[in-house]
Chain A
Amino acid sequence: MIEFDQSILGKEFVLGTFQVTEDMMRAFAQAVGETCPQYVDPEAARNTASGGLVAPPIFYDVFRADQLPDPKVKFGKVGFNAGQRCEFHAPIRPGDTITMKTRITDVYEKTGRTGKMVFVVRETTYENQLSEKVAVVEQSQVRRESGAARE
């Protein structure tokens, strides 16, 4: 059995509210090498389906929480990102205010060819000032023992 703080499961935490500016969007587009007009050129973006400048879908990743809820899993000393599933619902535009909320949806263990692993699954929702969901991201974090501990 995995030992962790079960009381945290399913509980929603507001991680922060973020103001989106055109500069942030431009800097992000530049950083990821994005050149599509709807993401980088306000004039050209007016004539696209989005009707104006919007952020690339993965822009949500610039919003960072100081601290994530911790289920205090009593296992393993090594942790890493085990993957993300993203749903994009509405575009992010300059001037939007994005609220980031998260909850831990599952903590489970399994055994792989490197031994036991414990997965912590977080679902993070990004909403704009109209309470519209702009993105929902499910991220798995895996914890495992170090190589020496496994041996």
Chain B
Amino acid sequence: MIIDMHVHSDVSDDGMAAVETYMKWLAKLRRNHRIDGIVFTEHRLFNRDADYDALARDYDILIFKGTEADTDCGHVLCYGMNEKILSQFDLKNVHLSGRDLISAMEDAGGIGIPAHPGRRYIGLVEHLEKGYDIGHALRAAEQLNGGSSKQENARAQQLVVERQLFGIGGSDAHFVSAVGKFMTTFKRPIRTVQDLVEQLYSGDYRPITLEDAKIQA
């Protein structure tokens, strides 16, 4: 299964395209590339009321919802959001404790994964270098991020290796043509967001490029 783990629709304040617009673009992209799913990780919110089931059926693709939270150790991608987490954390607050969020995500049956950890200000690496204590719940990091520079992704890669984390890939697309630049390939089938979370803990996955997902003629 190949999934773009980090995409923003126009529900995010800086997102440029509607979910259906992404679907139309992906329909073309999928003629030559294997892409099985996409996760809309909107900035500082969980789009609880959005129902993408009909679009997922129409376009024969998995569509999951997540969140990209702003925390005191950078941005954190949250998969498997639920009422327990939403009652504990005000996602609009940009000063959330990253350590607490990642730990609470695990306790609540989800997973929190630092986004673009190699970036300044909003990446985990810089905060760790300044002595931030991330705790013991960290399992994975976004190793390849489509909006990061090569150097920023190299810092993310180093973090993954040094801390023996699992690495995911996501495009961080804010407009359709950026979707799929980096994705994550999973060894096992995924049908629900619970499957996705389970697989993210399993470690049976790796980040890939769009080129890696090309269907061989």
Chain A residues at the B interface, C-beta cutoff of 8 Å: 83, 108-116, 119, 140
Contacts and interface: CB of A to CB of B under 8 A. Distances in A.
B92 A108 contact: yes
Nearest to A1: B95
B119 interface: yes
Interface residues of B, number: 13
B55 interface: no
Interface string B9-28: 00001100000000000000
Given A119-B13, A140-B13, A111 B92 contact: no
Contact of B122 (A83, A108, A111, A140): A111
A116 B72 CA distance: 12
A114 B121 contact: yes
Given A119-B13, A140-B13, A110 B121 contact: no
A108 B44 CA distance: 11
Contact of B94 (A83, A109, A113, A114): A109
B106 interface: no
Given A119-B13, A140-B13, A113 B119 contact: yes
Interface in B104-138: 119-123
Nearest to A115: B121
B44 A110 contact: yes
Interface string B43-64: 1100000000000000000000
B42 interface: no
Contacts of B119: 113
Contact of A113 (B43, B70, B92, B122): B122
Nearest to A119: B13
B120 to A, nearest CB: 6
A136 to B, nearest CB: 16
A112 B13 contact: no
A116 B70 CA distance: 11
Contacts of A112: 121-122
A111 B43 contact: no
B120 A113 contact: yes
Given A119-B13, A140-B13, A110 B120 contact: no
A21 to B, nearest CB: 35
Q: Which 9 A-B pairs give the minimum distances between C-beta atoms?
A: A113-B119, A115-B121, A111-B122, A109-B94, A113-B120, A111-B70, A110-B94, A111-B121, A110-B70
Contacts of A83: 14
Nearest to A106: B13
